Structure 1
Amino acid sequence: MNCEWCQSNNTTQTTKEAYWELPDGLKAIQIHDIPSIHCQSCGMNYIEESLVQDIEDHLFLIHTQDLPHSIGYDSLMNQPRILKKNYFRM
């Protein structure tokens, strides 16, 4: 896999944490253990855009008011959905 920043193929799969603003804009949560890519060449540790979109979509589909301020990625993605898909994405 090539780094999206420097195009090096010296990358490894890892995890990271991030703060994420909820769709209603009223609060942010901390998400732990998000799958990410770490580039040994440039030092970037980033979340792939497709995974960012999956998290954003999932946050639209669940009851976010029930979420704790800190949650693991797997726990977040296992939250029951109230809609089948994000109807707001074109």
Structure 2
Amino acid sequence: MDKFKTCEWCEENKTQAHLSNVYWELPDGSRAIQIVNVPSVCCSHCDMEYQEESVINEIEDQLMLIDTRLIDKVIPYEELMNLPRLLKRNYFRF
């Protein structure tokens, strides 16, 4: 992520790359997990903290392609993204 990109919320050029902790519902709806150290954007103008769409899509795809029973209640982002996939790609994303 570039430093000082335009904030998607307030449109000011005051964002910085940041790592944050997020909660995510598993695709089957069975439970939510906490993912720590997720690449995020933080705006010093409006204080909004969010994930870019590319990161959201990576997480969503990974959760569709792995055995989610292997995930504890909390998992680091890098560990999640390195779990072995059952399929090569998400065939439902067009």
Structure 2 counterpart of 1:75: 79
Once the two structures are superposed, the pairs formed by residues 47-62 of structure 1 within 5 Å of their partners are 47-62=51-66
TM-score normalised over the length of structure 2: 0.92
Structure 2 counterpart of 1:39: 43
1:23 to 20, 27, 39: 27
Structure 1 counterpart of 2:89: 85
| In structure 2, C-alpha distance between the alignment counterparts of 1:11 and 1:56, rounded to whole Å | 24
State the aligned residue count.
Answer: 90
SS at match of 1:12: strand
Provide Cα deviations, 1:22-48, integer angstroms capped at 9, x if missing partner: 011111110000010010111101111
TM-score normalised over the length of structure 1: 0.96
| In structure 1, C-alpha distance between the alignment counterparts of 2:47 and 2:31, rounded to whole Å | 30
* Structure 2 gap ranges (5+): none
Superposed CA RMSD in Å reads 0.7
Identical counterparts, % of pairs: 51
Runs ≥4 in structure 1, deviation > 3 angstroms? none
SS at match of 1:65: helix
* Structure 1 gap ranges (5+): none
